[in-house]
Amino acid sequence: MSQAGGRQFVLGVDLDGVVADFARGLKPIAAEWLGVAESSLTDQISYGFREWGLERAGGYDALHRFAVKDRELFARLPPIPGAPAALRRMSAAGDIRIRIITHRLYIHWFHKEAIRQTTEWLEHHGIPYWDICFMRDKAAVGADLYLEDSPENIQALRAAGHETIVVVNSTNDHLPGPRAGSWEDIEAMVRERVDRWKAERRPHSGPAP
């Protein structure tokens, strides 16, 4: 196993919007909830899906509860194209420790079910990881590099001095780079960062006596 200084590079990976296509998975459930055609709901959404007019049916929290509890959303989300295979390649290289960091404990007294759906989904799609953290404050979880799509989380991570790649979608168009629009881009950016991290940790030879 290739490691620098006896440890692996820790990659903090968000799930929803990064590995799991949350918006695409939620959209048909939102159409059912609202009683409208799925085609009437725009894909150009902001964080919180206000473009879908959820307030007329109880708001986002009510839809989220219905989707997770009654439609097992976390177990049925489609993966972002290329994500599972890219994570498998990065894990197989041996120098990256994948740490899933997700804020899915959103519904009171439903944590066991949310965790079950999440772990079953990860195993079903063959997604490797060594650690999984259910955390709202992602900066409290140690990682050398973060993959994130939520504007609030990206800003908080960067404000705390953590390197973060913006995984591009319509919620974060206003945020500066580094930005990645595909898992091909993500994989290349992570690989470059890992190589640089290893070089920085490599012992330097001193001057010849």
Only one residue has tokens 């994570």, namely 87
Residues marked active site are found at 14, 16
DSSP 3-state helix, strand, coil percentages of the chain (rounded to 5)? 45, 15, 40
Query: What distance in Å separates the CA atoms of residue 58 and residue 165, rounded to the nearest whole number?
Result: 34
How many of the other CB atoms lie within 10 Å of CB of 105? 15
Phi/psi of residue 131, each to 5°?
-135, 150
Instruction: Note the Cα 10 to chain centre separation in Å.
Output: 14
How many of the other CB atoms lie within 10 Å of CB of 50? 12
